[in-house]
Amino acid sequence: MFIVENYSLAIVLCIITMFCWGSWANTTKLTTKTWRFELFYWDYGFGILLTTLLLAFTLGSDGSEGRAFIEDIRQADMSNLLSSFAGGVIFNLANILLVAAIAIAGMSVAFPVGIGIALVLGVIVNYISNPQGNPLLIFGGVALIALAIILNARAYQKLQTNDTAKVSRKGLILSVVSGCLMGLFYKYVAGSMVSNFNIPEAGKLTPYTALVIFAVGIVISSFLFNSIQMKRPFIGTPVSFSGYFKGKTKDHIIGIFGGAIWSVGMSLSIIASGKAGPAISYGLGQGATVVAALWGIYVWKEFDKAPKGTKPLLNIMLLLYIAGLEMIIISK
């Protein structure tokens, strides 16, 4: 299987992860206006699973190093399979709650609160379970990125009117719960994997197998979480399953593509974690919040009508973000 052999390549993969995680949501803007997110989410999940399977049967089964996908899944202990599966279930619930929070409270509250908590909690949890790198540099970098996310929230708030600035308590609660769950899922996937990708120990999973089981957890749990969301949506009217089969081919393809983008990011993060360490891989990846902000600034022109004083905030945000990334990168 393909294994990352040097730290520099691992960092490049983590940066790609950041761009994937910060970019997949753009696909929701490309679907038909009447295509509800609850229906989009089915294809999104299928896209994640298909991508992990493709990687497992190609990069995960090629070469003499490590253990091929089919061989690996046959020898895996049930406890490790369940751990990776649980990671998918936890992520799925966190992701659905985050989207609901965005719909209720807006990007300026949901994303900074949810992803901010996920970033800090995720790095702490993953560093404790597998300490790699200088902790002062890692947590110093995380602090700078968290501050950049707060400034990003402040910039979004400047766009709001008095009416839209009223934050729903439900949206804030959903953001906090989502952030806590989002900060935990990565630990379960990383915990199911072998410690040495080149010489995998018995019973543990290679990263490619762990990713497939993780994706299976997402798809299967969607039949519970997304079904509930369709029948009792946090916002809007209920959606029927028949609506999914009435969707345009374009909408289904875009949904699968959105899942594939996110899945490529997750896969590269997990593959890079063998060399970079889970805390660094996860911390760099969750900087995706600012990548999403860049899409909003330069592509979707969300700040064109922003009041005076917004652009300096955005510039400081980007500088803090870059500085935080540099600290995390040089921590190992």
- At residue 148, the pLDDT reads 85
pLDDT at 163 over 60: no
pLDDT at 164 over 80: no
Taking only the tens place, the pLDDT of each residue in 44-63 is 999 999 999 999 999 999 98
Cα–Cα nearest to 41, from 186, 222, 221 = 222
Q: Where are the alpha helices (DSSP H) in the chain?
A: 7-21, 37-57, 69-75, 78-105, 107-129, 135-159, 169-182, 185-191, 207-231, 242-245, 249-276, 278-285, 288-294, 310-329
Confidence of residue 91 (pLDDT cuts 50, 70, 90): very high
Token pair for residue 14? 């983590």
Taking only the tens place, the pLDDT of each residue in 258-300 is 999 999 999 999 999 999 999 999 988 888 877 877 787 788 7
The share of the chain scoring above pLDDT 70, in percent, equals 95
- At residue 49, the pLDDT reads 98
Cα–Cα nearest to 22, from 288, 260, 255, 282 = 288
Q: What is the distance between the terminal CA atoms of the chain, rounded to a whole angstrom?
A: 25
- At residue 197, the pLDDT reads 93
Lowest mean pLDDT among 24-33, 76-85, 97-106: 97-106
For residues 243-269, give the mean pLDDT.
Answer: 96
pLDDT at 109 over 70: no
Adjacent-strand bridge partners of 205: 193
- At residue 106, the pLDDT reads 67
Give me the chain's average pLDDT, please.
90
Taking only the tens place, the pLDDT of each residue in 190-211 is 999 999 999 999 999 999 999 9
Adjacent-strand bridge partners of 159: none
- At residue 288, the pLDDT reads 83
pLDDT at 158 over 60: yes
pLDDT at 102 over 80: no
For residues 86-103, give the mean pLDDT.
Answer: 91
- 99 burial (CB, 10 Å; 0-12 / 13-18 / 19+) is buried
pLDDT at 135 over 90: yes
- At residue 99, the pLDDT reads 83
Confidence of residue 112 (pLDDT cuts 50, 70, 90): confident
CB atoms within 10 A of CB 219: 18
Record the pTM. 0.89
- At residue 42, the pLDDT reads 97
Taking only the tens place, the pLDDT of each residue in 6-22 is 999 999 999 999 999 98
The share of the chain scoring above pLDDT 90, in percent, equals 64
pLDDT at 245 over 70: yes
For residues 99-117, give the mean pLDDT.
Answer: 76
